[in-house]
Amino acid sequence: MNIHINIKSQAGMSIIELLIAMTLSVILMTGVIQIFVSTKQSYTTTDNISRAQESGRFAIDVLSRYARIGGYWDYDTSLLDDTPNAFATRCAAVADLPCTQDGIGNNNSDRLAVQFASSDNLNIDCNGNTPTANRVFLNVFWVQEDDFEVSSLYCQGFDSSTGNWLGDAQPYISGIDSLQILYGIQDENGSVTHYVNATRMNNDVDDDGDGNIADPNEFDWFDVRAVKITVLAQSGMDVDANYDDRTYVLLDSEPLLFTDGQARYIFSTTLFLSNTEA
């Protein structure tokens, strides 16, 4: 019995067919990889934007909340001689004092020292520490890099009755590149006529040597009726981004150029201060 085997029916793929199949597979995989990379970039970009916006809004909310209680005074308390200013006196030179200062922090950031009288209902600083009761204490805000080299908003309380800081300085909000503040000066009718930075405010120093600490061109802190607060926020994440280099201008600060590709947004608000003398 003769058995005939059809060699053609048992033949595999030809080299040409194999090359065509490999080419189609490479094209398909390239498309899948491109879709994956594009999706990852879109997610990273969206996440950076969301984090930057969240950080900026949170920073404005925190600073606004504490600025509004500046100058608070419980008139049922007789332990204080005078109503405290809403903001602590401008620093003369040293940057780590519990005082207000212009352009000394990271990226020319300002330093804000909000002061008020503690009471039974208002006796915890920004980091949860408890100061001495019925005394003036301060919450001091500034911008510096944290331990991960991310620019952040810091806060620390100060007890003026003991002259001591309350606990350690803590990074309050990550991703804040700059903080700028202008103070609204009221006229004799209580209306805000113009805004100035902290260098125009009284620093309790006789700068011109005339024997009077109320120097010309300086304004008294009791004349502050409003405050403008502006922050520049980014995601605070150590990841690559693809945004173009950009320059930002916040209030009276010098322009800030960033080349790290991170998404940044400016957030600003203007507050009316209730605890001041009109």
| pTM greater than 0.85 (yes/no) | no
pLDDT at position 14 over 90: no
Residues 6+ apart with CB under 8 A from 247: 255, 256, 257, 258
pLDDT at res. 62? 94
Residue 32 maps to a domain: no
Residues 6+ apart with CB under 8 A from 261: 240, 241, 242, 243, 244
CB 126 within 8 A of CB 108: no
CB 144 within 8 A of CB 154: yes
Residue 80 maps to a domain: yes
pLDDT at res. 200? 86
Which residue did the predictor score with more confidence, 58 or 210? 58
Q: Of 17-26, 55-64, 107-116, which one has max mean pLDDT?
A: 55-64
Which residue did the predictor score with more confidence, 252 or 119? 252
Q: In the chain, which residue ranges form alpha helices assigned H by DSSP?
A: 15-68
Residue 5 maps to a domain: no
Range(s) of the domain holding residue 219: 43-272
Residue 9 maps to a domain: no
pLDDT at position 207 over 80: no
What percent of the chain is predicted at pLDDT more than 70?
77
Residue 186 maps to a domain: yes
Query: What is the DSSP annotation of 206-236?
Result: -TTSSS-SS-TT-B-GGGEEEEEEEEEEE--
Structural domains in the chain (count): 1
Residue 60 maps to a domain: yes
pLDDT at position 77 over 70: no
Q: Closest Cα to residue 181, out of 140, 148, 210? A: 140
User: Mean pLDDT throughout 11-15?
Assistant: 69
Q: Rounded to 10 degrees, what is the CA torsion of 91, 93, 94, 100?
A: 20
Residue 158 maps to a domain: yes
Which residue did the predictor score with more confidence, 218 or 1? 218
Residue 108 maps to a domain: yes
Q: Closest Cα to residue 89, out of 123, 54, 49, 140? A: 140
Which pLDDT tens digit goes with each residue over 124-173? 888 888 877 667 888 999 999 998 888 999 999 998 878 888 889 989 99
pLDDT at res. 250? 94
pLDDT at res. 120? 64
Say how far apart CA 272 and CA 118 lie, in whole Å.
21
pLDDT at position 69 over 80: yes
